[in-house]
Amino acid sequence: MFGRPKTIQDGLARTRQSFFGRIRQLLAGSTLTPEAWDELEELLIQADVGVDITTELVEDLRRQAEAGKLRTPADVDRALRERLIAMLQQGAPSVVDEPRLLTVILVVGVNGSGKTTSIGKMAYYYKQRGRKVILAAADTFRAAAIDQLKIWGERVGVDVIAHQPGADPGAVTYDAIRACQARGADMLIIDTAGRLHTKYNLMQELAKVRGVAAKQVHRAPHETLLVIDATTGQNGLAQARHFKDTVGVTGIVLAKLDGTAKGGIVFPIVRELGVGVRFVGTGEKLEDWAEFDPQLFVAGLFDQNGNE
């Protein structure tokens, strides 16, 4: 394992080993007792799938089993996976790969959610796919935040446009767009601040960054990614609501999936936001980053090797 990039499968190890592995065992039996149905419900809730979705799922599956449409636990297993996959197939596909001169990706999320790290990984991911990427340090609140992005920029080998700490994030964005145009970059990824609990109005700041991007580049930002720390559980859901209401989120990055046994949180988050997950953070290294795929994700919840 050492040195190998961590896949979605690896990132889901803890979730699989706890709750979903147990669900798999439950559905590998020969019959489903009333106790087994109750346990299924408990396990889904413990995995952070949420009470609403869990109740909906289990009631529906149970009804179908009682009506004879699902005859064996294996049928229930299959139906459950299908439902879970369908739930993750939400929202419009990413427009990032559509041809245009400059694609602007705005990255938002609370402090510590994994924004800057995810931006480093994303820059690497797109650079490897032939994109010319520039990063904008529009989290100007702390010097350390700017330095952190610069370090990622050096590591990946992409330019970082930064001003002094305390500078106007809108001005950084403006300069970064100019730099993209001057240097022939076709992708700009903007790092932003995430302090929700100060008097300073973060949402106004994000709106301003958006406004600058929209004015300088046709239809920008083309993607607004909300980075959610998978380990924060139901808090992540509250954050999702907050950002949804104030900035237009078009996609989700689920960071730190490797750090949680409660990967089920992705289901209520996707439902709440009505947009798809684009990427998953699976560790702290550059390559610990995976494109999101609903089928692979659900397979990884249950099975070691995805498609057994």
Ligand X SMILES: Nc1nc2c(ncn2[C@@H]2O[C@H](COP(=O)(O)OP(=O)(O)O)[C@@H](O)[C@H]2O)c(=O)[nH]1
Contact residues for ligand X, defined by CB under 6 A: 109, 111-117, 194, 255-256, 258-259, 281-284, 288
Residue number of the CB atom closest to ligand X: 281
**Does residue 94 bind Mg ion (CB under 5 A)?**
no
Residue 50 or 281 with smaller CB distance to ligand X: 281
Residue number of the CB atom closest to Mg ion: 116
Q: Is 64 strand, coil or helix?
A: helix
Residue 58 or 119 with smaller CB distance to ligand X: 119
**Does residue 232 bind Mg ion (CB under 5 A)?**
no
Main-chain dihedrals φ then ψ at residue 229, nearest 5 degrees: -80, 115
Residue 43 or 152 with smaller CB distance to ligand X: 152
Residue 113 interacts with, from Mg ion, ligand X, none (CB under 5-8 Å by kind): ligand X
Q: Tokens at residue 241, please? A: 């609501």
Residue 9 or 117 with smaller CB distance to ligand X: 117
Alpha carbons 59 and 12: distance in angstroms, whole number: 26
Single out the segment in contact with Mg ion by CB under 5 A; choices: 19-27, 47-55, 139-147, 284-292: 139-147
Q: Tokens at residue 257, please? A: 């999936």
Residue 83 or 242 with smaller CB distance to ligand X: 242
Alpha carbons 141 and 145: distance in angstroms, whole number: 7
Residue 281 interacts with, from ligand X, Mg ion, none (CB under 5-8 Å by kind): ligand X
Residue 6 interacts with, from ligand X, Mg ion, none (CB under 5-8 Å by kind): none
Q: Tokens at residue 107, please? A: 């990255």
Task: Spell out the residues 6+ positions from residue 60 whose beta carbon is closer than 8 angstroms to its own.
Answer: 83
Q: Is 279 strand, coil or helix?
A: strand
Residue 284 interacts with, from Mg ion, ligand X, none (CB under 5-8 Å by kind): ligand X
Residue 190 interacts with, from Mg ion, ligand X, none (CB under 5-8 Å by kind): none
Alpha-carbon Rg for the chain, nearest whole angstrom, is 21
Cα–Cα distances (Å) from 259 to 26, 60, 229, 232, 239, in that order, read 25, 31, 9, 10, 19
Least distance (Å) between residue 46 CB and ligand X: 21
- The contact mask relative to Mg ion for 143-182 (x = CB under 5 A, - = no) is --x-------------------------------------
- Comparing CA positions, the residue from 117, 151, 108 lying closest to residue 284 is 117
148, 105, 89, 39 alpha-carbon torsion, rounded to 10°: 20
Q: Which residues bind Mg ion (CB under 5 A)?
A: 115-116, 145
